[in-house]
Amino acid sequence: MNKKFSLLVLISALCLVGCKTDTVNSFSFEKDEVTVEATKYAQLVLNVKPSNSEAWIEWSSSNENVVVLAGGSSSTFVRSVMGVNAGTAVITAKVRGDVSKSAQCTIKVYNVAATDIKFSCSKSDSTYISGDAIKMTAGKTMELKATVLPDNASFKTVTWSSSNDSVASINERGIINANKVGTAVITATDYLGQVKKSINLTVEAIPVQSVFIMENPDFQKLEGETKYSITNTYAVLPTIATNRKVTVTSSDLKVVKVLSPDTILTVAPGEATITITTEDGGKTGSFNLKVIETALRGFKIAVDTIRMNVGEKYDIPCVFTPANATNKDVTGTSDAPAVVEVIDANTIKAVAAGKATVELTCGTYKASVVVVVKTAVESIACTEDTKTIKVGEEYEIAYTILPADATNKNVMVTIADDSILQLVSGTKVKALSEGKTTVTLTTEDGNKSDKIIIKVEPAE
């Protein structure tokens, strides 16, 4: 019984270590393509699922003049091959008895390895190679050619890369795009990755060649005091020039002012020359402008009535249509100069209290406004500072307003404690109870004020 039990334990242990199966679900080569030098060996490995599969593999070469099978056996998943002559062959692995299970690996054999790479390109105005460097103009393209040495190297193709694609990018055919000003390193790597050759690339600015002026007949009849865009009046060429900044100047700032490289302001009738100068190269272009008068098409006064105090001056607000009309000369007259005097254009002065109508004229347009002049209150003073009265008595507060001819002498009365005093009418108050309170008189015109203290005693 002990021996049988030990045998069962051993068998179980062996199965746990890894029982093999003849079933292969799938397999493939570890690498789809392998490169090997002639007379040298390469090892091919099959990845098999499940990993504990055990099956007979049939190996074959599509061209034994290029690649032959070497070490290994049909019972293993690893096989060596040897390169015979330069060329390409396919190694096929199949599961014996199951044609649906197969895998292939391409073998490339080379006779001579690359030792160097030489660059060349077709010289033009925008691209050229000087020593170990390339110079290009931004926005241009070029084809960089790579010659793999020696001439009899088995593989002549290379892969390309750029250290800075934002400056210059290169595709698989060696076509370089110069994207912007800057530097980059272009590298070519041989097929086997054994030789790399780099060249420095400098992308230079695209220079400005000229300033082109476009005809704009509208600029021969510009109205004054108006902003105009000149964006579509000139062009810096070529349009892909790297630095297209310009300065714009006017030959007569009294006629035209330059607000920005895109905008001008016409000031007054006349003629001026606008000149555009490029920052790059100092290229220039110019065109003439003619500014004409802007006709007045309407005129009015902005207010209906004007109220003033004697001695004041006031500029009557005017509305011109259009606002940039050239002629804004105004003259004025008053129907009562003794009340309101026109002292200059639309400026008036209040001479004496009263009412006057002022008429303004601009070109063929007329407008009028009523002006009311009053004599303003300058001060108010109570005749007494304090006053004593008895309960039940009335007292009218006397006061003086200056100047004596003030137009509006109305006053307002404020009692600090209305349980002591009651306002009867005007400035007359009545004593209600014992105590002391302050009464304030305030002018309606000008808000001037003065105070009186009133003391109330018991009635006799």
- What pLDDT digit, counting tens, does each position of 71-121 carry? 766 557 899 999 988 899 999 999 888 878 899 999 998 888 889 999 988
Q: Closest by alpha carbon to 454, among 428, 412, 444, 410?
A: 428
CATH class of the domain whose range is 22-110? mainly beta
DSSP 3-state assignment of 3? helix
The answer to whether 210-292 and 298-374 have equal CATH topology is yes
What is the average pLDDT across 295-319? 94
Which of 174, 36, 166 has the alpha carbon at shortest distance from 117? 174
Domain boundaries of the chain, sorted by first residue: 22-110, 116-204, 210-292, 298-374, 379-457
pLDDT band at 25, cuts 50/70/90?
A: confident
77 contact partners, CB below 8 Å, separation of at least 6: 27, 45, 46, 48, 57
Instruction: Using the predicted structure, report yes or no on whether residue 126 has a pLDDT greater than 60.
Output: no
Q: Tell me if residue 45 falls in helix, strand or coil.
A: strand
How far, in Å, are 389, 393, 419, 454 from residue 460 at the CA level? 11, 11, 20, 18
pLDDT at 5: 37
Q: Confidence band (pLDDT; 50, 70, 90) for 2?
A: very low
pLDDT given for residue 6 in this prediction: 39
What span, in angstroms and rounded, lies between the C-alpha atoms of 459 and 436? 15
| Overall fold of domain 298-374 | Immunoglobulin-like (2.60.40)
Torsion of CA 50, 55, 60, 66, to 10 degrees: 60
User: Are the C-beta atoms of residues 292 and 223 closer than 8 Å to each other?
Assistant: yes
124 confidence band (pLDDT: 50, 70, 90): low
Does this model's pTM top 0.85? no
Which of the following CATH numbers is that of domain 116-204: 1.10.3720.10, 2.60.40.1080, 3.40.50.300, 3.40.630.30? 2.60.40.1080
In CATH, what is the architecture of 210-292? Sandwich (2.60)
CATH 3.30.70.20: does it fit domain 379-457? no
pLDDT digits (tens, 9 = 90+) for 175-186: 999 999 999 999
**What does the pLDDT read at residue 19?**
38
Rg (CA), the chain: 53
Query: Per residue in 138-193, pLDDT tens?
Result: 888 999 999 999 988 878 889 999 999 999 999 999 999 999 999 999 999 998 88
Residue 26 sits at φ, ψ, to 5 deg, of -165, 155
